[in-house]
A and B are shown apart, each in its own frame.
Chain A
Amino acid sequence: MTEKPGAAAAAAEGGALPGEPLLRVRGLHVWIEGSHILQGVDLAVPASGVTALLGRNGVGKTTAVKAVLGLVPRTGEVLLEGRDITARPTHEITASGVGYVPEDRGVFNGLTVAENLRLAERPRGRPRYGLVHELFPELRKRAGQAAGTLSGGQQQMLAIGRALLNENRLLVVDEPTKGLAPRVVAEVADAVARAAAGVPVLLVEQNLALVRRVADEAVVLDAGRVVHTGPAAELLEDAERTRELLGVSRAHNAEEGEGR
């Protein structure tokens, strides 16, 4: 009795029904220059926790998150809180509450750190500068510096800070630790873990140590298709399966984890 009216209200607003995933993707196909990159991807991101999107290089992980956001032409269905957003333009999808940290960080080199953050402010939104500066004090110190002159790690912090500036329903983070020094990896991992406490995250990541630390669910892509779905811990426990799906040995991966 206490639950039902809320659920009905959520349904009326197009919000998620209890137990229904926050993001659901069905039959996602992407062609780029004649290549069939995604061949019918189905996946779901639950309403809390971190869902890791895994797979070897070039299996279509980045394309998949871009397709979810409408950054590449695609066919299929993308539902956010039960609402079909497939035909919506990217800016409407993200403005409705999706934070995005792209693979190449996507910071604007010619703009200052402060301007990069200001650009991410949403009209009628309440920018959480307090949170961002608490997580990354560096960003406040370097507010007037051009983003292009920041180090790779600082740029990544700016990209994550920018995505955390708004209160979101979903955070999409694409390989946040790629090409970063081990010490910075730890800082970025902390930030992702901290963010995940407040908002569901779809995380593309190669660093399995980070995945083990933060991920709840795992979806594995291979050659444009989903080949495995299940709890992240279960997958990573099974060294044989991990190697088969991801092409990395657990030992190697543990080493990398210790390295940080």
Chain B
Amino acid sequence: MSTVVLLLATGLGLGALYFLIASGLSLIFGLMDVLNFAHGAFLTVGGYAAWWASVHLPFAAGGGWGFLGAVAFGTAAGTAAAFLVELLAIRPLYGRHREQILVTVGLSLAVPALVQGIWGADPLTFPRPDIARGTVGVLGAAVPRDRLLLVAVAAAVLGGLLLFVRRTRYGLIVRAGVEDRAMVTALGIDVRKAFTLVFAIGGAAASLAGALGGLYFGVVTPTQGVSLLIFAFIVVVIGGTASITGCALASVAVAMIQQFANYYTVAGLGDIAVVAVLAAVLLTRQGGLTTRTAERVA
């Protein structure tokens, strides 16, 4: 029983990470048709900026509340990076999806390489604050606190995103834009502003995932973003781009399949099981992501 609880908690923690990455990817892809390979780079930026702040900035140091400062700094850096990438790299190629994807591919290769050039390829130990130390007893299982912290943060981000898309004018524009971007412009709305906003929001969530991922894995590495990104892509495909809630559910489902299959069968089989689920979803589902985007990008 306690093993199952532990696996559930770990799965939820991983699912929280996936959600933080995939929610932004899904918003960006849904609204802009850009498959953002640079999203992993925002994660790397967030992780390294948080680590850097914890080492160099007095307000972000220490094991207590300083951790919040480090995470905030990392998130701010990732948000700024995403904002700049949209403004300088994506916007000038408006309407040319393939070129936009190519640019994000270039950035996805360049940014981790730059980080590696500056801080080296070796994993850097990430500071662990007091609130994320030790375990909490849940139904007889000792669940590490950092998992619970991740789940709480992801739940807060989910709530915030839902408020954004349901209650704000830009949220309305985003929801309409996911359905029919051209019609939004035909109503006299500059949809590009929504693009920049969505990119920044996605960057914020991904860099938050980067900072908290440091907590989950204990270290930051330049290529951490890439492997997480692939699973986030899978989440986006399974969850679709229509709703944030769907994205959250798919994140948890993917993480659970991975955790349970890895534990109860052979390590590594969980990852492959996720791929099998993806293939099954893509090939059986009619409509959704598969048909809607088929003609847009190819």
Contacts and interface: CB of A to CB of B under 8 A. Distances in A.
Asked if chains A and B are in direct contact (CB within 8 A), the reply is yes
Interface of A: 69, 71, 89-92, 94-96, 100, 102, 106, 108-111, 115, 118-120, 122, 162, 166
B264 to A, nearest CB: 39
Given A95-B189, A108-B183, 9 more contacts: A71-B182, A92-B188, A94-B187, A100-B187, A106-B183, A111-B179, A119-B176, A120-B188, A162-B187
A166 B183 CA distance: 16
B175 A94 contact: no
A119 B186 contact: no
Contact of A110 (B183, B186, B189, B242): B242
Interface string B7-43: 0000000000000000000000000000000000000
A223 to B, nearest CB: 25
A254 B166 CA distance: 48
B173 interface: yes
B184 A119 contact: yes
Nearest to B183: A106
Contacts of A95: 188-189
Contacts of A108: 175-176, 179-180, 183
Interface in B179-214: 179-180, 182-191
A196 to B, nearest CB: 20
Contacts of B186: 69, 71, 90-91, 94, 100, 102, 106
Contacts of A122: 188
8 contacts: A69-B186, A102-B183, A106-B183, A108-B175, A109-B179, A119-B184, A119-B189, A122-B188
Contacts of B175: 108, 110-111
A13 to B, nearest CB: 19
A197 B175 CA distance: 34
Contacts of B183: 102, 106, 108
B172 interface: yes
Interface of B: 169, 172-173, 175-176, 179-180, 182-191, 242
Contacts of B179: 108-111
A71 B242 CA distance: 24
Contact of A91 (B169, B176, B180, B185): B185
A92 B183 CA distance: 13
A194 B83 CA distance: 46
A118 B242 CA distance: 20
B179, B183, B184, B191, most chain A CB atoms within 10 A: B183
Contact of A119 (B187, B190, B242): B187
Contacts of B173: 119
Nearest to B176: A108
Contacts of A106: 180, 183, 186
Nearest to B182: A71
Nearest to B94: A89
Given A111-B172, A111-B175, A115-B172, A90 B185 contact: yes
A91 B190 CA distance: 6
Contacts of B187: 91, 94, 100, 119-120, 162
B194 to A, nearest CB: 11
Contacts of B182: 71, 90
B179 to A, nearest CB: 5
A96 B187 CA distance: 10
Nearest to B179: A108
Contacts of B180: 106, 108
A110 B243 CA distance: 10
A17 to B, nearest CB: 25
A90 B176 CA distance: 16
A196 B40 CA distance: 53
B188 A118 contact: no
Nearest to B187: A120
A89 B182 CA distance: 11
Nearest to B177: A108
A173 B138 CA distance: 62
Contacts of B176: 108, 111, 119
A118 B191 CA distance: 16
Contacts of B191: 91
Nearest to B95: A73
Q: Which 5 pairs of residues, A with B, have the shortest CB-CB distance?
A: A95-B188, A106-B183, A94-B188, A90-B185, A91-B185
A71 B175 CA distance: 20
B174 to A, nearest CB: 11
Contacts of A162: 187
Contacts of A91: 185-191
A254 to B, nearest CB: 34
Contacts of A120: 187-188
Contacts of A92: 188, 190
Nearest to A95: B188
